[in-house]
Amino acid sequence: MKYDRIDSNLYTANRKKFTERMTANTLAVFNSNDIFPISADSTMPFQQHRDILYLSGVDQEESILVLFPNASNPAHREVLFLKETSDLIAVWEGEKLTKETAFLTSGIKTVYWLQQFPTIFKQLMAEAHGMYLNTNEHLRANTEVETREDRFIKQVKQDYPAHQVHKSAPIMHKIRSIKEAVELELMQRACKITEAGVRRLLAFIKPGVWEYEIEAELAHEFLRNRSKGFAYTPIVASGKNACVLHYIENNQQCQDGDVILLDVGAEYANYSSDLTRCLPVNGRFTARQKAVYNAVLHVKNEAQKLLVPGTIMAEYHKQVGSLMEEQLIGLGLISMEDIKSQNPDWPAYKKYFMHGTSHFLGLDTHDVGIWHEPISAGMVFTCEPGIYIPEEGLGIRLEDDLVVQASGAPFNLMGDIPIEAEAIEDLMNA
């Protein structure tokens, strides 16, 4: 890993948050992700399952965490199972966690090698009345590919059919959505790395550059600051490409007079940042581009004021829609007549602003959280309104990462990244 070791007290506290919500006499199991194959002997770079990472800090494949707060043996109330390392593995794959370094990482004293799991797990299940199983219940999850967790769940239900099954996901969504101070520091680090990338681009972008060259500049800056790279697939969309919400080809040349929409963010220590900025290719917005830009900025500035404790996200999105209506009327894109005759299920403003405004942010870019409950201090949300006008070849979206505060306006983790149109022009022409 490129990042510094994180204080294990974070993971000790996270496990306590989970176990306090468990039913008595139950245990919970969390598995690492697989290393996913491509073809031949090629694989995707390893990405740890965020839940075992959140609870243990173990950023390594073939790891299992078992939590059993009522275990008769105190040593078995928190147990890690790891792939046994060796000199041979160290030569071919590099350093893996030893039992000692696993304790330093996680704060868990009881560490066994993976081959001991079946025997010890059978002993634990003989005591437990039920088990918490960890399924992916994110609202936007694609669950076509069977994971290590999926295979474990199928096997454990077959082996222990009399045990009551509970869901880990509701607990994880609740506790992961409220960030500890250490987590906010890591997210701030990711945002500062993103800032370095943006400032690099302000001096680089000019007519004739290619979208992939811009992506390369960002990748260079992110990696040299100890990030693994992009927190998600980067969007570098110039001109009409900006009207494709998930444009990731990044293969077109940037033309004089166009605006580039950059939806990019660095990760740090597996924590995500998520930024959108729009930059004029030639360093100056036209009057029309600036009018649309400032309309989006106005909606963003007003919308983020609503991210306070007690807000219900469904109502928040409706309020943002009203803010956007006003701006679209001012730009001549919709009329009052359009609003009067609109379909309530697809309001008139959706023609130019068709996506949501905010999502949870954390270990995942679209992080887990409970959408139907009021938001709380310590949650982190994006705020990202946009206006997309295909007939003008113009798409503007602006996005920052905001920490909900106990009182007052949210704290902007990206507050130092230029966003005012004039500030961007000044920096691009310095």
For 59-73, the pLDDT digits (tens) are 999 999 999 999 999
> How many Å apart are CA 298 and CA 214, to the nearest integer?
27
pLDDT tens digit sequence for 322-336: 999 999 999 999 999
Give the list of residues 6+ apart from residue 79 with CB closer than 8 angstroms, or none: 65, 66, 68, 108, 110, 111, 112, 120, 124
List the domain boundaries for the chain: 9-176, 181-428
How far, CA to CA in Å, does 216 sit from each of 210, 250, 299? 10, 10, 31
Place of tokens 């099954």: 165
> How many Å apart are CA 238 and CA 232, to the nearest integer?
19
Q: Give the angle 235-236-238 at the CA atoms, nearest 5°.
A: 130
For the entire predicted model, the pTM comes to 0.96
> How many Å apart are CA 153 and CA 268, to the nearest integer?
31
Q: Is 16 helix (H, G, I), strand (E, B) or coil?
A: helix
pLDDT tier, 229 (very low <50, low <70, confident <90, very high otherwise): very high
Residues β-bridged to residue 268 = 271
Taking residues 307-311, report their average pLDDT: 98
Nearest-Å Rg of the Cα atoms of the chain is: 24
pLDDT tier, 291 (very low <50, low <70, confident <90, very high otherwise): very high
Q: What is the CATH number of domain 181-428?
A: 3.90.230.10
pLDDT tier, 107 (very low <50, low <70, confident <90, very high otherwise): very high
pLDDT tier, 181 (very low <50, low <70, confident <90, very high otherwise): very high
Q: Which DSSP category does 404 fall into?
A: P
CATH fold of 9-176? Creatine Amidinohydrolase; Chain A, domain 1 (3.40.350)
Residues β-bridged to residue 206 = none
